[in-house]
Structure 1
Amino acid sequence: MELARFLHGSADTRTGGQTLTHGRAYEAFGTVFFGGRRRRVFTDLARLSGARPGDRALDVGCGTGYLTLHLADAVTPAGSVVGVDPSPDVLAHARRRAHAHAHCTFTDGIAEDLPFPDGAFDIVASSLMVHHLPEDVRAGALAQMHRVLRPGGRLLLADFRPPTHPAARHLVGAVTGPVMEHNPVHLLEPLAREAGFTDLDRGDLHPWIHYVRAVKPVSGR
């Protein structure tokens, strides 16, 4: 199987985007791709999300549930976390991994039509998902994240940051495909701002992650 197709999955007829398949193999690749730093990076992402004990958290495009379980650790003992993804294969893998976490659940859904009521969550997070979405639905996905957050709730977006060196960037493209080679992570912040989020800040986590944090204002849209 071509590695780029493996990483970005098959076409999702509901969105026109990509749906991950082969959850177990994707987990193995993630371990190698982060060069032994994957656990530290996702522990840092859970911390950066602001998730605290008792919070209700949502992981959008949760895939195999790696970030979801880190969020689950952050919101225990009284909180809860839901992972949502359109892929039955990766959701099955995520549920197997989370069997000991009673407060961690997974459900089918797409980012641009989240199956939750307004203001249902204190935290909405998403990692390595936005680049799977067609460009014309990304604003809709951010609008949905804004909708399901309570006023004052916190957003964390994290996605793949291509290398700055042209040769390294080309190598990434050769291995993973053009989506990751040219991933425009600089657009995450304007997407969040246009969706109505405020108090934005951004940063990088070595080796591959760019993140944006934001808040849904207490008053306003």
Structure 2
Amino acid sequence: MAPSRIAWANRSTGSPARDAAVVAQYLTSDNATSYAASYEGWRPAARYYRSRLYAIDEALRAGPQGRLLDVGCGPGMLVRHLLDTRPEKFQITGCDQSPAMIDAATARSKGSSNVELTVARVEKMPFPDKHFDVVVAMGVLEYADAADGLREIARVVRPGGLVAVTMLNPLSPYRLVEWCLYWPLLRVLGRVERLLGTPRHAADVSGIRAIRLARLRRMMRETGLAPQDAVHYDVTPLVPPLDRLARRWSRTWRDHPERTVRRGARPWPGTAYLVTARRQADA
């Protein structure tokens, strides 16, 4: 799922208001088309998605082959990427709570015999226990009940199987400015413009609830997942709206996405992070 139009989430996980905010963003075919289009161009969203795809690609490179589950598959961007780059490595299953996203993913993977797609929430997936060799949850836990989602992920991956999950980084300067200053100001500006009859700006509540890396690792361990590695991606020292101006001239991220990923002692500029883990053997 996308980080576009991000606003600070409702605090009550699983509340009707939060669920409604999440569903509203990915309800129609136009929403799915817009999401897929945001991978292209030079906007901050394109850099974010390209960086995330690179981080996921690297995590999968040394992982096992076999059955792969793409949780929250959206319009099938990762599914299409894997079909294009590793067609023989995975038998792919994708799920998303949005029927419009599943329709878009179906169209994007048309003609492939090793892809199955279904409508399902991460908190309650219709798959057997210990079924998958690899589970990827890319941009989905921010929108879900993360604890329930991780328990389901742990349930469906086999012992020793690889899990790769991403999460927006609530400690990054970029996200703090975006959530606490930039989007609130846009909402105020939008209200003023509506009163004047010239609406141009909006920043709807997204339902996102980001989790710190240390806490996510702890939650994973509680479900039987053993965290192995963590990388921060979409690394940028800039904050909104400065990044929108600077990126018109700084475009090396498209040809060198490895420069947008960072390990080590100072990962804070990454606007999001990826954690890989292995399912522990049953006791």
TM-score class, shorter-chain normalisation, is 0.7 to 0.9
Question: Closer, same or farther in 2 for the Cα pair 1:143/1:73, shift >3 Å?
Answer: farther
Q: Distance in 2 between matches of 1:168 and 1:27?
A: 22
Q: What amino acid does structure 2 have at the position aligned with 1:111?
A: V
The answer (yes or no) to whether the contact 2:64–2:133 under 8 Å persists in 1 is: no
Aligned to 1:170: 180
Of 157, 161, 185 in structure 2, the residue corresponding to residue 153 of structure 1 is 161
Structure 2 residue runs without a partner (length 5+):
8-13, 185-202, 236-270
Question: Closer, same or farther in 2 for the Cα pair 1:172/1:90, shift >3 Å?
Answer: farther
Q: Distance in 2 between matches of 1:159 and 1:167?
A: 17
Of 62, 74, 77 in structure 2, the residue corresponding to residue 63 of structure 1 is 74
Aligned to 1:8: none
Q: Secondary structure at the match of 1:95?
A: helix
Structure 1 residue runs without a partner (length 5+):
6-10
| Greater RCO structure (CA 8 Å; 6+ sep) | 2
Q: Distance in 1 between matches of 2:80 and 2:219?
A: 26
Of 170, 178, 188 in structure 1, the residue corresponding to residue 216 of structure 2 is 188
Of 242, 254, 273 in structure 2, the residue corresponding to residue 210 of structure 1 is 273
CA deviation profile, 1:111-159 (whole Å, cap 9, x unmatched): 11111111110000111111111xxx32121111111111100110012
Question: Closer, same or farther in 2 for the Cα pair 1:191/1:199, shift >3 Å?
Answer: closer
Q: Secondary structure at the match of 1:49?
A: helix
Question: Closer, same or farther in 2 for the Cα pair 1:160/1:173, shift >3 Å?
Answer: farther
- The alignment covers a number of residue pairs equal to 209
The answer (yes or no) to whether the contact 2:129–2:157 under 8 Å persists in 1 is: yes
Q: Whose strand fraction is larger, Structure 1's or Structure 2's?
A: 1
Structure of higher CA gyration radius: 2
Q: Distance in 2 between matches of 1:90 and 1:123?
A: 21
* Farther off after superposition, 15-24 or 116-125: 15-24
The answer (yes or no) to whether the contact 1:197–1:217 under 8 Å persists in 2 is: yes
Work out the percentage of aligned pairs sharing the same amino acid: 23
Q: Structure 2 length normalisation: TM-score?
A: 0.63
Aligned to 1:25: 34
Q: Distance in 2 between matches of 1:50 and 1:130?
A: 23
RMSD: 3.1
Q: Secondary structure at the match of 1:82?
A: strand
Q: Structure 1 length normalisation: TM-score?
A: 0.79
Question: Closer, same or farther in 2 for the Cα pair 1:48/1:108, shift >3 Å?
Answer: same
The answer (yes or no) to whether the contact 1:121–1:149 under 8 Å persists in 2 is: yes
Question: Closer, same or farther in 2 for the Cα pair 1:130/1:216, shift >3 Å?
Answer: same
The answer (yes or no) to whether the contact 2:227–2:275 under 8 Å persists in 1 is: no
Aligned to 2:139: 128
Cα shift at 1:78: 5.2
Q: Distance in 2 between matches of 1:35 and 1:77?
A: 28
